[in-house]
């Protein structure tokens, strides 16, 4: 899967689950009752600590919430949301890396260690293979089992729900529409066929500024993650909402303009790169292109490493 496409899924997922109200309802409706009833969802708080370093940032996507658990013990629970758009062979190892990082930071800050509930939100085409951690290790007997970490994760696989069940399950229009879009994003024909169902509550969503902003995020996601022409989306939107159609068109135009700007910047970089190849110094390249010395030196490194800018 292309990196920019994975990033499109990640960005939309993080936008969808960046608001306490949506996360609270999502947990309440999808978690096992024996856990959900003990979570004090009023205390949900987005944890802004970055638990993934820059080297792993392109491969991992995390959204962490802290929440109190139970009335008597008052234990803090960390809810770790991990987004997946394709199956993983060893998800426990990725999740364990997150959990260890959370605990390391708690120790560094001299806090008590708290339980972490890993949550995998999956919306890929292939079926997710959910197996226990110990099954990764072949040929281990009971004597060795005690040396293998044992923990589980909460799996939310959108393929386990029909579109109608998702609409009925969630009151939040952002959750309804957002999860429906992610569930069907790999089936472009169905996306077009079911536009009326997916965006049935669009007019209501657009009544708030927050709803309008979220719809812009949806438009960007649809245009980046599918190859459906904007015109086809617009034709379908006309049957649902005039305001939604106007918003779709204006957002698409903004995205197109940003793309052209990025293309222009890329073109200037290529000019500078060619000047480097011809032996011109930084001063000449700066005057010709307007690029800073740092940027020119970065391009010089790319030239030495034989990196193609196309």
Across the range 32-58, mean pLDDT stands at 80
By DSSP bridging, strand 75-84 and strand 116-122 are: parallel
Domain check: are 194 and 127 in the same one?
Answer: no
Looking at the structure, tell me whether residues 142 and 232 fall in a common domain.
no
Look at residue 289 and tell me whether its pLDDT is greater than 60.
yes
Give the least confident one: 25-29, 68-72, 215-219, 299-303: 299-303
Phi, psi of 46 (to 5 degrees): -65, 125
Residue 119 has pLDDT above 80, yes or no: yes
Residue 20 maps to a domain: yes
Q: Judge if 222 and 150 occupy the same domain.
A: no
pLDDT bracket for residue 303 (50, 70, 90): low
d(CA 64, CA 153): 14
Q: Does a structural domain hold residue 258?
A: yes
Bigger pLDDT: 174 or 135? 174
The total of structural domains in the chain comes to 2
Of 4, 283, 309, 268, residue with least CA distance to 301: 309
In a shared domain, residues 103 and 198: no
Is it the case that residue 1 has pLDDT exceeding 50? no
Phi/psi at 66 (nearest 5 deg)?
-105, 145
Residue 245 and residue 306 in one domain: yes
> Are 147 and 198 members of one domain?
no
Check whether residue 135 and residue 213 sit in a common domain: no
- One domain, residues 117 and 228: no
Query: What pLDDT, on the 0 to 100 scale, is given for residue 213?
Result: 94
Q: Tell me if 181 is assigned to some domain.
A: no
Domain assignment present for residue 180? The answer is no
- Supply the range of the domain harboring residue 134: 3-160
Q: Is residue 51 part of a domain?
A: yes
| pLDDT of 52 over the 70 cut | no
Residues in contact with 81: Cβ distance below 8 Å, sequence separation at least 6, in sequence order? 13, 17, 23, 62, 63, 64, 65, 119, 121
Kindly report, residue by residue over 66-107, the tens digit of the pLDDT.
999 987 656 778 888 888 988 989 999 989 988 998 999 999
- Percent with pLDDT over 70 in the chain: 87
> What is the number of other CB atoms lying within 10 angstroms of the CB of residue 148?
13
Q: What is the mean pLDDT of residues 284-292?
A: 81
Asked if residue 34 belongs to a domain, the reply is yes
Mean pLDDT of the chain: 85
Q: What is the mean pLDDT of residues 161-188?
A: 95
Residue 169 resides in a domain: no
What pLDDT score was predicted for residue 54?
Answer: 52
Tens-digit pLDDT profile for residues 214-273:
999 999 999 988 888 888 898 899 899 999 999 988 888 888 767 655 565 566 777 788
| Within a domain: 231 | yes
- Segment 56-73 shows an average pLDDT of 70
Alpha-helical regions (H) of 194-292: 195-198, 202-205, 209-225, 230-237, 242-277, 282-289
Domain shared by 22 and 89, yes or no: yes
């Amino acid at each position: 899967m292309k990196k920019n496409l994975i990033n499109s899924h990640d960005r939309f997922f993080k936008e969808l689950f960046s608001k306490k109200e949506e996360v609270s309802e999502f947990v309440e409706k999808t978690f096992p009752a024996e856990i959900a009833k003990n979570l004090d969802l009023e205390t949900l708080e987005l944890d802004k600590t970055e638990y993934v370093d820059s080297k792993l940032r392109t491969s991992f996507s995390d959204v962490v919430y802290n929440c109190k658990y139970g009335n008597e013990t008052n234990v803090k629970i960390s809810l770790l949301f991990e987004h997946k758009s394709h199956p993983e062979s060893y998800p426990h190892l990725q999740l364990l890396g997150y959990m260890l990082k959370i605990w390391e930071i708690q120790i560094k800050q001299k806090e008590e260690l708290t339980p972490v509930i890993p949550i995998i939100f999956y919306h890929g085409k292939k079926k997710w293979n959910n197996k226990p951690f110990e099954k990764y290790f072949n040929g281990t007997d009971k004597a060795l089992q005690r040396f293998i970490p044992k923990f589980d994760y909460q799996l939310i696989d959108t393929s386990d729900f029909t579109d109608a069940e998702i609409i009925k399950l969630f009151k939040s229009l952002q959750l309804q529409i957002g999860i429906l879009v992610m569930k069907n994003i790999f089936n472009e024909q169905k996306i077009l066929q079911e536009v009326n169902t997916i965006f049935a509550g669009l007019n209501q969503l657009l009544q708030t500024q927050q709803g309008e902003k979220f719809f812009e995020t949806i438009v960007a996601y649809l245009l980046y993650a599918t190859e459906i022409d904007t015109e086809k989306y617009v034709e379908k939107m006309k049957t649902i909402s005039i305001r939604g159609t106007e918003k779709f068109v204006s957002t698409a135009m903004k995205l197109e303009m940003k793309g052209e700007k990025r293309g222009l910047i890329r073109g200037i970089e290529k000019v500078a790169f060619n000047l480097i190849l011809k032996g011109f110094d930084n001063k000449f390249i700066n005057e010709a292109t307007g690029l800073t010395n740092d940027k020119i030196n970065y391009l010089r490194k790319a030239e030495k490493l034989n990196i193609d800018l196309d």
